[in-house]
Amino acid sequence: MNILYLLKTLDTNKLSELVANIDLAPIDVNLSIWEAIDRGDIEVDEDKDKVAPFKEAEVTADEALRGKLLRVIQHYAKNGLNVTRGTLNGMMKDPSIGVGYGWHDYIMALQSLVDDGTVVEEIISVPGVKNKRPSHKFVFLGLPENDNAEWNAREVNKWIDNFTSSKVK
């Protein structure tokens, strides 16, 4: 487990956030963190809920999962759409039986695709309108060559229109 890259991906220095995002048995979580400490990669202060990295994070990710994520993004692109992180999140694990990929493996694989420029990410925040619709944040993932701004705006506008057209009277 690359604790340094996971910390960078999470953009945190909180031990509790790091631990909460490692989707492994507690023994494996502890061993991963202890090994990173023993290698001199990090220092942990449990009382202050802090993790301090001592080295630059090397990008590492599950290559097979990277490939699968890229194929999903390419599939959406063939249909003139960009997939959202929310949609991909739902594809990672069957919640009823717990079978799938570890959260930490998924977020590092996806972030590595963004970090190396294979995938682009656009975040669009839509403010809520009192008594009409909630606020919502879209995180779109697409290929650099897509018409990303147009595709993403179309989907956001479709979401807004759904609230307008389904207004309860």
Range of the domain at 127: 63-165
Q: What is the CATH number of the domain that holds 125?
A: 1.10.10
Please name the residue that has the structure tokens 């599950």.
62
- Determine the angle formed by the axes of helices 3-10 and 26-38, rounding to 10 degrees: 100
Do residue 20 and residue 82 come from a single domain? no
pTM to 2 decimal places: 0.87
Do residue 30 and residue 75 come from a single domain? no
Number of domains making up the chain? 2
Q: What is each CA distance from 43 to 9, 25, 35, 57, in whole angstroms?
A: 18, 22, 11, 14
Do residue 78 and residue 133 come from a single domain? yes
Q: E strands along the chain, which residues?
A: 42-45, 50-53, 83-84, 120-126, 136-142
Q: pLDDT (tens digit, 0 to 9) for every residue of the chain, 169 residues total?
A: 999 999 999 999 999 999 999 999 999 999 999 999 999 999 999 999 999 999 999 999 999 999 999 999 999 999 999 999 999 999 999 888 889 999 999 999 999 999 999 999 999 999 998 888 899 999 999 999 999 999 999 999 999 888 877 655 4
Do residue 111 and residue 138 come from a single domain? yes
pLDDT at 86: 94
* Burial of 69 from C-beta contacts in 10 A (0-12 / 13-18 / 19+): buried
pLDDT at 166: 66
Do residue 42 and residue 74 come from a single domain? no
